[in-house]
Amino acid sequence: MLDPTLLRSRLAETAARLKQTRGFELDVAAVEALEGERKRLATETQDLQNLRNTRSKAIGQAKAKGEDVAPLMAEVAGIGDKLKANEQALGEVQCKLAGIALGIPNLPHETVPLGRDEHDNQEITRWGVVRTFDFPVKDHVELGERHGWLDGDAGARLSGARFTVLRGQLAHLHRALAQFMLDLHTAEHGYLECNVPVLVNADSMQGTGQLPKFEDDLFATQVGESRRYLVPTAEVPLTNLVRDTILDADALPERFAAHTLCFRAEAGSYGRDVRGMIRQHQFEKIEMVQIARPSESYAQLEELVGHAEKVLQLLGLPYRKVLLCTGDMGFGAAKTYDLEVWLPSQNTYREISSCSNFEDFQARRLQARWRNPETGKPELVHTLNGSGLAVGRTLIAVMENYQNADGSITVPEALRPYLRGLERLV
């Protein structure tokens, strides 16, 4: 959530910035009315509490003198009833304000370019040489159909559209990619490997911003009164590890990494990338999360992006780094870089990693704090996350960029130790 101060003392300015950068229309009149009611009720409630305390003290004094306290006790009872009604009304107003706040996106960092959609994103760098083929290029589906390695029909029979079964050497390559990425981030980049639940509660989803706004994009389960959500990314459980905690300054930055299944309903994406594995309901990803001191979070964002880039570089996959514009960023992000890998069959770059700094947007929801040694007080941390990488999309990129004329796939050197020295999928 945004800092409540912005909605209380800088409402018009904040609304203007949200409209300019995010195209988000904040209902200023509704917020002003609720805030006015909150202030009135808060003042009345405090006055009633003071009055009750004064009258209660007077009762004690009257009793000590042997005086009749019945009138005073009746007055205190009436104050108590009024106080209870005020507290309930105040809670309802605060709940409405919180509901509005939960639906407001983060404000972009000043370095984020203004824009409406992906066409306004800024390319920062390109890495690698795009391969020139002397034979007709196959896409990953054609390559995967060899020996039945990639089977969308089986996935559809088992679960429905946008599910896939991998077999044989291709399944092994997929597993090798995940292991390679996790080993790299833990051994060389300093991340703590975590094995986390992929079924989480609503508090966890709300903490990282998936709820309430994106409920239609989630898969949910209901057992009795218990509702749980399948994670769309390991960002959710990893970031929630610091929920309701106060971290020591010396512990920062915290770096977590996990390999998990991820589940997305892909609401509103019907008809997009229906062929093959590019857009699936179930996929695997290596997620990186960093918990940072606010003064260091943007340096850590650059570091985080570099960790994701290193995977692509070691695999020899051409890619480009893109700075997202204000209109293409995620709901909770203050600044985001996307890494887009080259796919020969599409003759274009496609997203394979998204790395974001959320500043204190998630931390405020999570009440994730650190004790600032300069003030001695708990303050909100900054949270960051990024894909390091999406395993399925990396598999696609390896298949297409390393394909041979006979349909076989050369194994990148970095992966060969994970496939018992195998040099080619044949």
Query: Concatenated DSSP letters for 93-150?
Result: HHHHHHHHHHTSPPPPPTTSPP-SSGGG-EEEEEES-PPPPSSPPP-HHHHHTGGG-E
Kindly name the residue from 354, 364, 369, 387 that is annotated as catalytic. Answer: 354
- State the catalytic residue, choosing from 351, 371, 408, 424: 351
Q: Which of 22, 255, 264, 364 is catalytic?
A: 264
Query: Which of the residues 235, 359, 393, 400 is marked catalytic?
Result: 393
Q: Cα–Cα distance between 137 and 154 in angstroms, integer?
A: 25
Helix (H, G, I), strand (E, B) or coil at 180: helix
- Pairwise CA distance, residues 307 & 189, whole Å: 7
Q: Are 235 and 215 in contact (CB under 8 A)?
A: no
Is 275 labeled as catalytic in the residue annotation?
no
Cα separation, 351 vs 158, whole angstroms? 28
Beta bridge partners of 48: none
Q: Is position 264 annotated as part of the catalytic site? A: yes
Q: Residue 356, exposed/middle/buried by CB under 10 A (0-12, 13-18, 19+)?
A: buried
Per the annotation, the verdict on 293 as an active-site residue is no
Rounded to whole angstroms, the Cα distance separating 320 from 306 reads 12
SS3 257: strand
DSSP per-residue codes, 310-361? HHHHHHT--EEEEEPPTTTS-TT-SEEEEEEEEETTTTEEEEEEEEEE-TTH
**422 sits in which H/E element:** none
The one catalytic residue in 40, 279, 320, 371 is 279
- Mark whether 393 is an active-site residue: yes
Which tokens belong to 332?
């909770």
Half-sphere CA count of 284, side-chain side, radius 13 A:
20
Beta bridge partners of 246: 369
CA 340, chain centre distance (Å): 19
Among this protein's residues, is 116 annotated catalytic?
no
Q: Which residues are catalytic?
A: 264, 279, 351, 354, 393
